[in-house]
Amino acid sequence: MNILSKILQALGFSSGNIGIDLGTANTVVYLEGKGIVLQEPSIVAIDTKTGQVIAVGKEAKSMLGKAPETIQIIRPLRDGVITDFEATRVMLSSIIEKVLGRRLFKPRPLIVVGVPSGVTQVEKRAVIDAAKAAGGREVYLIPEPMAAAIGAGLPIEEPVGNMIVDIGGGTTEIAVISLAGIVVSHSIRIAGDEMTEAIIQYIKRKHHVLIGEQTAEKIKIELGNAIRDDEETSMEIKGRDVTGLPKIVRVTSSEITDALEDTISSIINAIRSTLERTPPELASDIVERGITLAGGGSLLKNLDVRINRETGIETRYCEDPITAVARGVGKVLDNMELIRKVSME
Ligand SMILES: Nc1ncnc2c1ncn2[C@@H]1O[C@H](COP(=O)(O)OP(=O)(O)OP(=O)(O)O)[C@@H](O)[C@H]1O
C-alpha cells in the first residue's frame, strides 16, 4: 500500500478495493480499510413482466416460497458456481453499488473473488466477466479454501501442512496448504444446502408433510446435530400434508441426526480421502496442528466433535466461520505479491 493510500485510510477513506466471497448461499463483501461491509443471501427477485430487479439479498430471500407468478426468485449460483450469468451480474452490480455507493470519487476497484477450487475455465470466465461488468478494474480469483485459510489466520506461507475444511452452502472444500500453495485438495458439491434438502426429504418420507426450504433450514439450525447426544430436543413444525391441508408435526433432534447422516458421512469420507493423499511430512503436521473448520455449513452442532471422533485429529473452528473466505480475500487486497501467488491462472 502506498503512503497516500495509508493516509486516506487513516482519514477514513477506503481505496474501494473489494474482496468478495461469492457464495451459493451468501455473498459477503470486504471493503479495504473498512472490513466486512455486507453479508446478504445470494438471491435476486426479478419482475417477470419487465425483467427489472425488484430486490437483492435479504429482501429477496424473504420472498422465497411466497412470491406470485409475476416475481421470479433466482439463486444465481448453484453448488458454488454460476448457473445464471445475467442474474449474477445484476446481483454483483447491485452489491458493488451498495458498497461503494456514496463515494465522491469512484475509481474502478480491484476485485478479488473467492471461488470453489474445482471451477472450470468457463465458470472462471463467467465470474471474471460478471465482476468486470459490475465495475471491476482488475479481477483476481482465489480458491475458496486458500481464502478461508488466510481468513482463519493459518500460516499458509510457511513450510507446514495446514488443513482447512470449508463447508459452505453448495460446496465442501478440503485443502492441505503449505508454502502458499494447495498441495492436495478435494471439492465435493455436498454441503449445508444438501443438509437442508435432506431434512425436507426425510420429513416428507417419515411424516408425509411437505415443508419449505426456510423451515428446513430453521430445523437444521435449531435441532440439527452431527452426533446423538443425550439431550434430545424437539420442535413443532408446520407444513402441508399430502392432501394439501396444513399440518403440524413434532420433530426430534435424533430424527434430524438420522436425516443428516448421509450428508455428514460424505463430508467425512472426503476429509479421509484427502488425508490419505497427503504426503507423510504434511500429514504429520496436520496431526500435530489439527483441522480448521470454516463456512456456514460447518456450524452444524457437534460437527467438530464428529470429525475429531472419526479422523482422530483435533478439529476446531476458526473465528466467525461464515466470513472466513471474505476476510481472507480482504486480507490480501493490499498485497499484490500474495494475490499473484495464491490466485488461479
Ligand atoms: N448454525 C448453523 N447450523 C448449521 N448450518 C448453518 C448454520 N448457519 C448457517 N448454516 C448453513 O451454512 C450454509 C451457508 O454457508 P456459507 O455462507 O458459508 O456458504 P456459501 O459461501 O454461500 O456457499 P459456497 O461456499 O458453497 O458457495 C447454508 O447451508 C446455511 O444453512
Candidates 178, 185, 184, 187; CA nearest to 341 is 178
The whole-number pLDDT of residue 326 equals: 97
The tally of CA atoms less than 13 A away on the side-chain side of residue 115 is 26
User: Does the annotation place 168 within a ligand binding site?
Assistant: no
Neighbours of 140 (CB within 10 A): 21
Q: Are residues 105 and 169 in the same domain?
A: no
> Residues 290-299, buried b or exposed e (16+ Cβ, 10 A)?
bbbbbbbbbb
Q: Cα(191)–Cα(332) distance, rounded to whole angstroms? A: 26
Q: Cα(271)–Cα(307) distance, rounded to whole angstroms? A: 9
Q: Are residues 189 and 313 in the same domain?
A: yes
Q: Are residues 67 and 214 in the same domain?
A: no
Q: Are residues 190 and 136 in the same domain?
A: no
Q: Are residues 224 and 88 in the same domain?
A: no
CB-CB contact of 55 with 91 (8 Å): no
Ligand 1 mutation pick, 299, 302, 323, max ligand atoms within 8 A of CB:
299
The whole-number pLDDT of residue 159 equals: 97
Q: What is the 8-class DSSP label of residue 33?
A: T
Number of compact structural domains in the chain: 2
The whole-number pLDDT of residue 12 equals: 52
DSSP 3-state of 54: strand
**Alpha carbon 5 to chain centroid, angstroms:** 30
Q: Are residues 161 and 299 in the same domain?
A: yes
pLDDT digits 0-9 by tens, 54-63:
999 999 999 9
The whole-number pLDDT of residue 242 equals: 82
As given in the structure block, the three cell numbers for residue 23 are: 457464495
The tally of CA atoms less than 13 A away on the side-chain side of residue 337 is 2
Dihedral sign, Cα of residue 114, residue 190, residue 287, residue 306: positive
The whole-number pLDDT of residue 220 equals: 98
Residue 49 within any structural domain of the chain = yes
The whole-number pLDDT of residue 3 equals: 60
Ligand 1 atom at minimal distance to the Cα of residue 171: 26
Dump strand ranges (E) for 105-221: 110-115, 138-143, 162-167, 172-178, 181-188, 209-210
User: Does the annotation place 55 within a ligand binding site?
Assistant: no
Q: Are residues 280 and 131 in the same domain?
A: no
| Residues pairing with 60 in the sheet | none
Whole-number Cα distances in Å, 145 to 109, 188, 252, 280: 24, 12, 34, 21
pLDDT digits 0-9 by tens, 247-295:
999 999 999 999 999 999 999 999 999 999 999 999 999 999 999 999 9
In the chain, pLDDT over 90 holds for what percent of residues?
71
As given in the structure block, the three cell numbers for residue 281 are: 511430512
Q: Are residues 161 and 308 in the same domain?
A: yes
As given in the structure block, the three cell numbers for residue 306 are: 464428529
Longest dimension (CA), the chain: 69
Q: Are residues 94 and 213 in the same domain?
A: no
- β-pairing, 77-78 vs 71-74, is unpaired
> Which residues constitute the domain of residue 301?
156-317
Distance from the alpha carbon of residue 34 to the mean position of ligand 1, in angstroms: 24
The whole-number pLDDT of residue 104 equals: 53
Q: Are residues 61 and 122 in the same domain?
A: yes
Say if ligand 1 is within 6 A of residue 298 CB: no
Candidates 268, 256, 123, 267; CA nearest to 202 is 256
The whole-number pLDDT of residue 265 equals: 98
Q: Cα(74)–Cα(92) distance, rounded to whole angstroms? A: 14
As given in the structure block, the three cell numbers for residue 307 are: 470429525
DSSP 3-state of 136: coil
Which residues of the chain register pLDDT less than 50? none
Q: What is the 8-class DSSP label of residue 75?
A: -
For residue 112, what is the domain's CATH number?
Answer: 3.30.420.40
Dump strand ranges (E) for 83-204: 110-115, 138-143, 162-167, 172-178, 181-188
User: Does the annotation place 283 within a ligand binding site?
Assistant: no
The whole-number pLDDT of residue 7 equals: 55
Residue 244 within any structural domain of the chain = yes
Say if ligand 1 is within 6 A of residue 299 CB: yes
Sheet holding 181-188, edge to edge: 181-188, 172-178, 162-167, 291-294, 315-317
Residue 151 within any structural domain of the chain = no
Say if ligand 1 is within 6 A of residue 28 CB: no
The whole-number pLDDT of residue 9 equals: 53
Q: Are residues 303 and 270 in the same domain?
A: yes
As given in the structure block, the three cell numbers for residue 15 are: 481505496
Q: Are residues 182 and 96 in the same domain?
A: no
